[in-house]
Structure formats: C-alpha cells, structure tokens
Amino acid sequence: MIITLLSDFGYQDNYAAVTKGILLQQMPHANIIDLSHDVEPYHLLECSYLLKSGYTNFPDYTVHLSLFNILHENPAKVLLARKNNQFIISADNGLLPLTFDDTLDAIYKYDAFAKNYTEWMQLAARLIKDLEQSQFDLKNLEAYQPATNGAQFSAIESENAIECQVIHIDYYGNVIVNITNDKFEQIRQGRNFQIHIVRDVLNKIGTDYADVTEPGKAVCLFNSAGFLEIAVNQGSASKLLGLKLHKDKMIYYQHIKIEFL
C-alpha cells in the first residue's frame, strides 16, 4: 500500500518521523511517501493546493494522509474521502470541501474521536489498515457532511477581470495563484488580456521558463498542475516582486489582477 503524507510540520522536529513510526507499527510493509511537510502553518489554501495538484499522480488505491491542523477541534474526528479510487484522510478542518467542492464520491467519519495528535494518528493508522484488509470496502463507515470554514479556493471572477490570490510559493520562489488554464480560457473567450503583477504588466503567457532570456524579467505560464505560475529568470519572483502567500485581510496590491480587453 502507498501512503502519502502532507503536513505543516516542517523538518526541524520529529513529528513526520513519529507519524511514519505509528503507521509502520500497523503496516510494516507500507510504502510511505512525503508529499510535503512545508505547508505554511495553518495556511489552508496552500495545503489544499498541494493536495489538489499532487494526488492525481499516484496509482489507484493510494491513501493520502493530511496531517494539517488535526486538532482544529477537540476531540478531533478522522474523515475519509474517496475520489476516483484515491483515498484522502483528514481532520474535519475544512480541507476536504475546500479542495474538492462537491466532486467527492463520498465522505465518511471513523467511529472514534481523538483528544491529541498521537491518538488521532493511531486511529488513522487503524483505519488505513482496515481499508487494506477489507479491500477498500467502505460499507461499514458512517457517511458524514464535513465542516466548512468559509475559505474560498477559487479566484474572484467578473465579466472582464479575475482577481487571483497567491496560494503557494515553491523552493525557487516561483509564485502559484489560484486560477487554472481551463478557467482562464473559459472566462477569456479569446480576448486579449493584461496581467497586473505589482509594478509589472504582462500581456502574454509563456510555455516554459525559457520564454524570457533576460535575468530579472518575469514570465507567466501554466504549470504542470494547470495553475498559473509567475516566475523570474534567474531569480525569485516572490522576493523580487514582493509577493507573499494570501491571507485574510491582506491589502489589495497583493492580488494578481487579470483584465480582459
């Protein structure tokens, strides 16, 4: 069985290793893969993006275990969702409805609660083992409607513009915003456009990073996950353009505005 891990633990502490130890106690044969442990602490949008852009690359019957903000409530629930033969386990913290809208095949609640992280992980490990032993038969689980927290993953749309927010900054300082290629073309309808990025205005979308050859120049392109990315030749777009992860009550200039002409 393949199990992926997604968290905001970072690598300074031993939380990720302890998690793997708990899983391996139940399933010594498990193939555990780190999706990421560098989610900005408590940044639900970034966690959602990393899950949304990553889970489709795995074989059927992979279990994706989100360790993000487990103790959002106490006692904490263990939720299981199914999406195209992929299985996602998360706390009831808004991640599932934010990431998948209404497209999940089903959402279930495990029949026990946890008062701390270790208890939650033990329950999650037991659930994963049960799934494997039952060959992913979910009939004994209770259907559940998860909580939402009011966060919005999608960009703000109007007839002639899209206001995008920064949802991820990668290791190289490339900035990913919350608009996909499909949604961009749906709203664009063949029109010209301008992308306003702080002090820069771009009117084209490249196909790769080499579309700009001058160091320090910005380029926009849709990344392999289909989301709009802002990069700078031989530099960090985040640092050079002053872009940070979107947070509530952030001032307006942090938005990336796309105008259709």
DSSP letter, residue 94:
S
Predicted TM-score (pTM) of this structure: 0.92
Q: Convert the pLDDT of each residue in 183-202 to its tens digit.
A: 999 999 999 999 998 878 99
Residue 213 pLDDT:
75
CA gap 132, 134 in Å, rounded: 6
Residue extents of the structural domains in the chain: 2-143, 156-260
Q: Convert the pLDDT of each residue in 130-150 to its tens digit.
A: 999 888 888 888 899 887 777
DSSP helix/strand/coil, 246: coil
The DSSP bridge pattern shows strands 193-197 and 86-90 to be unpaired
Which overall architecture, per CATH, does domain 156-260 show?
A: Beta Barrel (2.40)
Q: In what order do the strands lie in the sheet with 200-202?
A: 156-157, 161-164, 256-260, 193-197, 200-202
Mean pLDDT for the chain overall: 91
In which residue ranges of the chain is pLDDT below 70? 249-253
Q: What is the DSSP string of 96-138?
A: HHHHHTT--SEEEE-S--BSSHHHHHHHHHHHHHHHHHTTS--
162 bridge partner residues: 157, 258
CA gap 79, 111 in Å, rounded: 10
Which top CATH class is 2-143? alpha beta
Q: What count of other Cβ atoms lies within 10 Å of the Cβ of residue 97?
A: 20
What percent of the chain has a predicted confidence (pLDDT) above 90? 68
Residue 106 pLDDT:
84
